[in-house]
Structure 1
Amino acid sequence: MGGDGMGGLAVAIILAMVLMIVGAWAIALLLGRWVARQRGASPAAVKKAGLFASLIGVALGLSAVAATFFESSWSPPSKLEISVPPGYAQSWTILLEDPRAPAEIVWRGADFPFAQRRGRIAVPPAGVLRVKALGDAAGRGDLEIMWSDGAPHNGTGGGPAPAGSGARSYILLGRPLPDGSLPEAPSGDSLAAEIRLRETPDHR
């Protein structure tokens, strides 16, 4: 029964995509011909206008399908490149959004469909960095992370910053330790304590 349900869903999605494309094509075709007739165009010109409008309609239909069913292609997740110092050994890197902070994530790339935005930031050895704004990194669980030392990315989390931290929100970025393990992500009181500890002069 599960297989039949999935098959039915796949058929429904395909039909929806076809209807979106065909519907956009038909509407554009009729609209193009109607506008041409209203302007007193010849029958040949009406056909050309309909053809041109139908091409636009198909393009719009395909864009609608991509935006609806292929969101990762329509709006690719932003990539954040993180530069770490030699010997960096923090399992969880903490980014804090703090409007008073001098550091900023530099984002590049146009905010257009199918275009990926890229950000870059350097973190200190302690693995806690306050930035003015998280920007494209905020609220995206599919954020693509690239570490400068080639370490694999292993987990992302975030939410409102702990009380007393002076920040608005935070993002946790995980990377395995040299032995391949990844300790449990800090949260709540443990996150607040971790931030305080790492921001002391001895750990910066």
Structure 2
Amino acid sequence: MESLFSTMIVLLLVSFSCLISTEALTSNYGNITVKWDLLNWTPDGYVAVVTAYNYQKQRSIPGWKMSWRGTKKEVIWNMLGAKTTGQGGCSMFKGNIPQSCVRKPTVVDLLPGTPFNQQIANCCKSGVLKPGSESAFQLSVGSAGNSVKTARMPANFMFTAPKQQYICGPSKNVRPTRFTTADKRRITAALMTWNITCVFHKAT
């Protein structure tokens, strides 16, 4: 009888320990979802708003960076709410020079206090992305497809932050995002929407 009682106590302690371990592991469950909403076509590409959503329950991002590889020879003509860290070789362009000709650009958020004409909604937080919040920027992409059939999703997407390592899945073509105007009297939709999901891998 005592042996059976001791066995039951051990099982209860093990179960309790497992519950604690599971809670510790699941407390930060969630992901970073990056959404590309293509809003307009241009003569050589498109204008898109890129939004990162922090769906993690407790983990804050102290300063995000994003990078990706273009599947064509895309360039970034200009941006609002963020900037690329390098311009690359743009010698083939005369007059109007793109902000970036890098095949795999890296993008960072702008600082608070950025001039209003360089901002969009939910930008300019020094890359800080608290749980449940979002961060956005706009970019004009050239030398790219300018139709639903020719525009190509970014490849090898990466989301990084200081002392945090993430693994991102492939870009996915999803149902276009719908938008409601400020007066709530009109609903519009993105031309195309691409989603990328990134999950926390480990602290570095």
Which of 1 and 2 has higher RCO (CA within 8 Å, sep 6+)?
A: 2
**Larger strand fraction of residues:** 2
Give the number of the structure whose alpha-carbon radius of gyration is greater.
1
Q: Whose helix fraction is larger, Structure 1's or Structure 2's?
A: 1
